[in-house]
Amino acid sequence: MKVNGHCHCEAIRYQAKIDPQKVSICHCTDCQTLTGTVYRVSVPVAAEHFELLAGNPKIYVKTADSGNKRAQAFCGECGTPIYAADAENPRYFALRVGTLAQRAELPAKRQIWCQSALPWISDIGDIAQSDRG
């Protein structure tokens, strides 16, 4: 599936070809901290199917518990997370689904690091809802 996306201020724009069956939710504590929310939704894309159209993201390198170094790419202007990739040999990019124009067409197909999921995350159906803030 061809997709396109951008950061909030549109300084960074990209396009990619993804497999929509590989969209996942990550509940790890790193994703919780790096997003400032309770989980992250991403989809992998092979490097040869990812193209930056405008801008260059800033990179923060995070060392995982395993010792692997992960590049966390984000917009240096507005702070929007764009992707994560291996810092030394980026063969795949984990695109942040919230930056994709087609995000409504990309429901998650799996959840990972569920032992870190907040206990209330699956119980939000009864919380009061509003169409606007």
- 43 in a domain, yes or no? yes
22 in helix, strand or coil? helix
- 127 in a domain, yes or no? no
pLDDT of residue 125: 80
pLDDT by residue, tens only, the chain of 133 residues: 999 999 999 999 999 999 999 999 999 998 999 999 999 999 999 999 999 999 999 999 998 877 889 999 999 999 999 999 999 889 999 999 999 999 999 999 999 999 999 999 888 888 888 888 7
- CATH number, residue 111: 2.170.150.70
- 125 in a domain, yes or no? no
What is the span of the domain harbouring residue 60?
2-119
CA dist., res. 27 & res. 80, Å (int): 19
- 129 in a domain, yes or no? no
Whether 84 contacts 38, CB under 8 Å = no
Whether 62 contacts 105, CB under 8 Å = no
List the structure tokens of 12: 């960074």
> Based on the structure, what is the number of domains in the chain?
1
CA 35 to chain centre: 9
pLDDT of residue 127: 84
- 49 in a domain, yes or no? yes
CA dist., res. 28 & res. 9, Å (int): 27
- 80 in a domain, yes or no? yes
- 6 in a domain, yes or no? yes
